[in-house]
Amino acid sequence: MKQPEPYKISVNKQFDFDVQPEELAGLDIVAESDGGFHVLFEGKAYKATFLNSDPANHGFEIKINGTRYVVEIADRYDRLVQQLGLKIGGSQKANIVKAPMPGMVLNILVEPGQQVTKGDSLLILEAMKMENMIKAAGDGVVKAVHVQTGAAVDKGQLLLEME
């Protein structure tokens, strides 16, 4: 049986490593009442706080035991898109917002016709017991919302359209 391809993980754009999906099987995450998370991995406990998500780069910002980390994760399809040069650059306008991971839509914070600026919160997506704030990649107007609160979404599913 063929072993699944590893995820490529970059931390703070300084440290890069491969992680096999089965290596994460021992990861135990419990949400805490203060919005943070208690993480137990390989017998060690960590206090984690989710700070921000960057769907365009398949990344997020977290604080673990008081230290901030910017983490980007790429599966084999993400790497293929990068190799083909199809990744959206800074000068292009992102007109669609897709789910960066499978999860459930907890709250939609915008409506069609609403003006948003880069970094504005668009919706909250719950994935792996964590709330992920999906933010606008650029300035624009919300053209359409394609999901509803409580909807289950797949990775790459269309959430919003911008113009």
Structural domains for the chain? 1-87 (no CATH), 92-163 (2.40.50.100)
This prediction has a pTM of: 0.50
Element housing 61 (H / E):
strand 59-64
What is residue 116's predicted lDDT score, i.e. its pLDDT? 92
What is residue 90's predicted lDDT score, i.e. its pLDDT? 44
Phi-psi category of 42—alpha, beta or left, where left has phi over 0 and alpha has psi -120 to 50? left
Yes or no: say if 19 and 89 are a contact pair by the CB < 8 Å rule: no
What is residue 96's predicted lDDT score, i.e. its pLDDT? 85
What is residue 87's predicted lDDT score, i.e. its pLDDT? 54
End-to-end alpha carbon distance in the chain: 46
What is residue 46's predicted lDDT score, i.e. its pLDDT? 93
What is residue 55's predicted lDDT score, i.e. its pLDDT? 73
pLDDT beneath 70: ranges in the chain: 1-2, 84-94
Radius of gyration of the CA atoms of the chain, in A: 17
What is residue 91's predicted lDDT score, i.e. its pLDDT? 40
What is residue 146's predicted lDDT score, i.e. its pLDDT? 94
Q: Could you tell me which residues come within 8 angstroms of residue 62 by beta carbon, excluding any fewer than 6 positions away?
A: 48, 49, 50, 51, 68, 69, 71
What is residue 75's predicted lDDT score, i.e. its pLDDT? 82
